[in-house]
Amino acid sequence: MTVTAIKPGYTGEIKDRVENFHGKQLLYIGWEDHLMFCAPLCIPVPPELPFGALTAEIIPNLYAQHPDTAKIDWNRVEWLRSGVPFTPDAAKSVTDNGLGHKAVIRFRTPGLHGIHGTCS
């Protein structure tokens, strides 16, 4: 991500470099139409983590407080990678699915639109 400093000549140490996460990378995950979680959640994951582990274990635990979580049909989920639709391969790693350090994925759950359909 490119940042433009207000003050010319500004330099500073970049703290969120992948080298600073002990072999893990940051992954931002957002759930469309579920504003109980108003922004994507950021988690450290090993680059070799199978994408299927995200849907089987990690994402359901991240969003466990939401009543729609138990109703998710993972076979119908629509995925966005940096705003572009994509179909992840559950058996491949997050890296092999094109998700590098600080990647953003969002998922849409057809038929589920928050608490009582309010997008909350």
**Predicted confidence (pLDDT) per residue in 2-58, tens digit:** 667 788 888 888 889 999 999 999 999 999 999 999 999 999 999 999 999 999 999
pLDDT of residue 2: 66
Task: Give the C-alpha distances (Å, rounded to integers) separating 2 from 5, 82, 113.
Answer: 10, 15, 33
119 Cβ contact partners less than 8 Å away, ≥ 6 residues apart:
33, 34, 35, 113
**Predicted confidence (pLDDT) per residue in 66-92, tens digit:** 999 999 999 999 999 999 999 999 999
Beta-bridge partner residues of 44: 26
Domain boundaries, the chain: 18-117
The CATH number of the domain covering residues in 18-117: 3.10.20.560
Hey, how many other C-beta atoms are within 10 angstroms of the C-beta on 51?
20
Of the candidates 87, 88, 100, the residue with the CA atom closest to the CA atom of residue 48: 100
